[in-house]
Amino acid sequence: MTDNSLLHVGRPNLGDCEKFLSRVTDILDRRWLSNNGPVVQEFEKKISEILDVKHALAMCNATAAIEIAARALGMQGEVIVPSYTFIATAHALQWQGITPVFADMDPATHNMDPAKIEALITPRTTGIVGVHVWGRACDTEAIESIAAKRKLKVMYDASHGFGCSTSGRMLGGFGSCEVFSFHATKFINCFEGGVVATNDENLACQMRMMTNFGFTGYDRVEYLGINGKMNEICAAMGLTNLEAMDEIVAVNRRNYLTYCDELKAVPGISMVHYDPAERNNYQYVAIEVDPDACHRNRDEIVDALHAENIIARKYFWPGCHGMEPYRTTQPHAWKQLPETERVAARVIVLPTGQAVNEETVQRVCEIIRHAAMTR
Ligand code: T4K
């Protein structure tokens, strides 16, 4: 797992380690380690400024944050989500006793296709959770217009989308709230962490209390709460990494452009592109393998990469609907998800971030080119 000869997808990006360690020393000196400490407050303030939202609530991870947000929004019964997402989106809902109902993707964007949503709405539907896959915004306008018409709640799993924009507006302020992940593998990490961003004062207040057992005062509990708090060390890591945000984007962008250049002439391989007119974090380099145009299929190319110690990933294959418990509880879901089934079997996510330089990208692409063009 920690073998440095392996090139992983998701190698953490790091800011100035000395700065982080000095923050840790301050935390230890202060003996204030958790429960809305000063570093968490500073982290929340920075995040709300970057996202241009009124409230940013730091939490222990994005999965717990989705659970808290869904519960605070009163989501229950059925909620529509894409199947093409990390399993946490669906699990967070199911863990709250909510049935995730899977909508198919638009193959052009890898995001939930709004045209597929209405047919899935039943009297039990209470909400929609959109996901900004790879940090590319899902169609917030279409989703929110369906939700308004059908009186549904909307929130977004923006786990991939920190620092990204749509139509020039930062992700974070759409729907009732948006949840970001600051897991080790994300563009900016807190070791583990999540943030809920919202402009809704009441919702923010309620989620803040729920994150701290429902306490509203020393001896007063007003909500069924949970412990969803972020600790001071995680916030210190987040603050330190935020200071390196521009540098990390520049490295990711350079890697992405090198991948684009190196792979552009390989038959059957296409890049998932980022719109240069938007702000992007370029944290995911995803390619699609067209088995009809390429000598090898996706799995064979991944095997070729793994054989050379490059641990490329098949995110998010086979889609949530193909994983338990949904595979058993919703055995016919796949019939409504032809694009998810097709595209999920084609995608490879390649290594990027600070652990990867142009030379490494060239080596990865040479292996792909060789595998794709020979039999
Ligand atoms: N919603 C979406 C759309 C998400 O993508 C995620 C998380 C969530 C919700 C939930 O967010 P959190 O609750 O985690 O905040 C990894 C991450 O664990 C997961 O957070 C992330 N999505 C997902 C896309 O990737 P796995 O199952 O692939 O993890 P694993 O252990 O295989 O690690 C991925 C790669 O990263 C490995 O090749 C090794 C490398 N790695 C990992 C860690 C932790 C390192 O090099 N260093 C490290 O410290 O899920």
Q: Whose CA is nearest to atom 34 of ligand 1?
A: 10
**Quick check: CB of 88 below 6 Å from ligand 1?**
yes
The pairing of beta strand 99-103 with beta strand 78-82? parallel
Q: Could you tell me if the CB of 258 is within 6 A of ligand 1? A: no
The pLDDT assigned to 5 comes to: 79
Across residues 206-233, what is the average pLDDT? 96
For atom 36 of ligand 1, which residue has the closest CA?
10
Token pair 């009297």 is at which residue? 123
Residue 150 CA to ligand 1 center (angstroms) comes to 34
Are 257 and 28 in contact by the 8 Å Cβ rule? The answer is: no
Nearest CA to ligand 1 atom 16: 185
Does the beta carbon of 184 sit less than 6 angstroms from any atom of ligand 1? Answer: yes
The rounded percent of the chain whose pLDDT value lies above 90 is 97
With a cut of 80, say whether residue 267 has pLDDT above it: yes
- pLDDT surpasses 90 at 79: yes
Per-residue model confidence as pLDDT tens digits over 161-178: 999 999 999 999 999 999
Residue range 20-28: mean pLDDT, rounded: 98
C-alpha dihedral (229, 234, 238, 239), degrees to nearest 10: 100
Looking from the CA of residue 191, the nearest atom of ligand 1 is 49
CA of 253 to the centre of ligand 1 (A): 20
Confidence of residue 1 (pLDDT cuts 50, 70, 90): very low
* Three-point CA angle 123, 133, 230, nearest 5°: 90
Whether the pLDDT of residue 63 is over 50: the answer is: yes
pLDDT computed for residue 6 by the predictor: 87
Average pLDDT over residues 17-41: 98
Cα(360) to centroid of ligand 1, in Å?
A: 22
**Segment 72-101 mean pLDDT:** 98
The pLDDT value recorded for residue 180 is: 99
Tell me what pLDDT residue 2 has. Answer: 55
* pLDDT > 90? residue 232: yes
Supply the residue whose CA is at minimum distance from atom 33 of ligand 1: 10
DSSP calls for 96-110:
TTPEEEEEPBPTTTS
- The Cα–Cα gap between 122 and 101 comes to 10
pLDDT at 160: 98
DSSP code, position 119 = G
pLDDT at 107 over 90: yes
Nearest residue (CA) to ligand 1, atom 27: 86
What pLDDT sits at residue 100? 98
What are the pLDDT digits (tens) for 314-364? 999 999 999 999 999 999 999 999 999 999 999 999 999 999 999 999 999
Our answer on whether the CB atom of 89 is closer than 6 Å to any ligand 1 atom is: yes
Assess whether pLDDT exceeds 90 at residue 32. Answer: yes
**Residue 55 in tokens:** 């409230």
Q: Average pLDDT, whole number, for the chain?
A: 97
Rounded Cα gap, residues 120 and 123, in angstroms:
10
Ligand 1 near 161 CB (within 6 A): no
pLDDT of residue 43: 98
110 lines ligand 1 (CB under 6 A): no
In this predicted structure, the answer to whether residue 242 has a pLDDT above a threshold of 60 is yes
Does 157 sit in the ligand 1 pocket, CB within 6 Å? yes
Model confidence band, residue 366 (pLDDT cutoffs 50, 70, 90) = very high
53 C-alpha to ligand 1 centroid (Å): 26
Reference 96, options 84, 122, 78; nearest CA is 78
Which residue type occupies 355? A
Q: Are 101 and 52 in contact (CB under 8 A)?
A: no
